[in-house]
Amino acid sequence: MHNRKKYKVKLDNTAIIHMASHNKSWLNIFRLSITLKEEIHPAILQEALNVVTERFPTIAARISKGIFWYYLEPVYKAPIIEKDTKLLKYMSKKDLYKSSFRVLYSEKSIHVELFHSLTDGKGGMVFLKSLVYEYLKRKEGLHLKDREDILDTNEHPSKDEIADNYKDIKIKQKNKVTFKNNQVYQLKGKTINKLKTEKYIIDIVDIKKIAKDMNISLTVLVASMIIMGLINLQKEEMKTQSQKDIKIFLPIDLRNVFHKNTLRNFVLYMKPQINPKVQDYTLNEIIKIIDNQLKSGLSEDNLRTRIQKNVSIQNSIFIKMMPLFIKQYFLKRSFLFSEKTTCLTLSNLGLIRMPTEMDKYIDRVDCILNTRSRTPYNCSMLSYDNKFYINLVRDIEQPLLELEINKLLKQLNIKYEVESNEY
């Protein structure tokens, strides 16, 4: 069992905001799934989770509370796995203090649902892949020669894995970063008490060729399509002079930029945007603008400056000495303001690689974000095994954005399949 005190750590820069944003009916939670080709055996999955829990003290964790700060600490024991009956079920503060993650299973899928204060998509995926490996080791006698980023349960967590890397980033040169916070369009619809998902399945070769011909990344392509879709929806609602900016929230994984291996949160957010009042943009024009915005915003100096600014606020004596309940009040206000400045989140987990020996047991990999607390849509994307997946989730009745995405995929001559689900 863990030396619990050794692995008790303060919430990192991003995790604090997620904790403050938690309310009586919503929290920032996301689901990662791996679907196998054979049916899941729950008893074997529980055995695997019992072992993996010990290896990930900052992900298999709970949130505890001090006078001045929130902390992550390892759970006392692995939670009992559950049959999947509800997508992204709410966790109360009491639940979070007991265990801030859960493991579920359906017929052939293993799901991990994680409160975002524990980790981001990358850290969560390392945890899930390690869990699935432990499961296959027991069920199929699988033993890997090359582990990729699957962690060995016989090893202790390294310092790198549990580090708060935000604190390590120093500014090389002074660099002023400015942000405009104009009013932003918010898509609305008849709210329903359930989540609907629409999964687009696209051949990776097809969509990569289109992005390559345009000399852009898949992130830029999908972000531009979503922005174009939102522009079209706003056009139907109001005249040009009344229209607001279209801006999306785009998490950027910082590990590759700064050569870090933490399993805790290590992302920063870009907010690519278009002002539809300027002109009647075509999709190609939007693509060029978004591509330029991301290239300038993703410069290492810009990222360093923004991280340093966030960390210096957190480290100020005034903030450190402020009791937690007062901190929470200001952070909650800050989060609600920030959420109003974008239309939705688009999270790209990138290419998911598995060791070759594991691939033959796996059918697909998925990520689904929760909807936001005040806006009805969110979107995630990833690629695995020659397929590219776009997952839209909504809590309104009509598939407004989906219909726009369908039109744009057809316009680009991209063939796709769609799977719809309701939870």
Task: State the amino acid at position 7 in one-letter form.
Answer: Y
**Calpha distance 87→239 (Å, rounded):** 37
What is the pLDDT, as a whole number, of residue 310? 73
Rg (CA), the chain: 21
Contacts of 285 by beta carbon, 8 Å cutoff, 6+ apart? 279
The pLDDT score that the predictor gives to residue 181 is: 65
Q: Specify the pLDDT at position 314.
A: 65
What residues does each domain of the chain span? 9-154, 191-348+371-422
- Give the model's pLDDT for residue 176: 53
> What does the alpha-carbon distance between residue 128 and residue 249 come to, in Å, rounded to a whole number?
25
Cα angle at 67 between 267 and 313, to 5 degrees?
Answer: 40
Work out the angle between the directed axes of helices 13-21 and 324-340 (0-180°, nearest 10): 90
* pLDDT recorded at residue 338: 72
The pLDDT of residue 173 is 57
pLDDT given for residue 179 in this prediction: 52
Can you give the pLDDT at residue 317?
62
CATH fold of 9-154, please? Chloramphenicol Acetyltransferase (3.30.559)
pLDDT confidence of residue 308: 77
CATH match of 191-348+371-422 with 3.40.1180.10: no
Q: Which residues 6+ apart lie within 8 Å of 332 measured at CB? A: 20, 21
Average pLDDT per 10 consecutive residues for the chain, totaling 423 residues: 76 83 91 98 98 96 89 95 96 95 98 97 98 98 90 93 89 57 86 95 97 97 98 93 94 93 94 95 97 91 82 64 74 73 95 95 97 93 98 96 97 96 91
Cα distance between the two ends of the chain: 37
- The pTM of this model reads 0.93
Predicted pLDDT of residue 318 = 60
Residues with Cβ within 8 Å of residue 396, at least 6 apart in sequence: 188, 189, 190, 191, 192, 376
pLDDT for the residue numbered 169: 84
What dihedral do alpha carbons 17, 19, 11, 165 form, nearest 10°?
-40
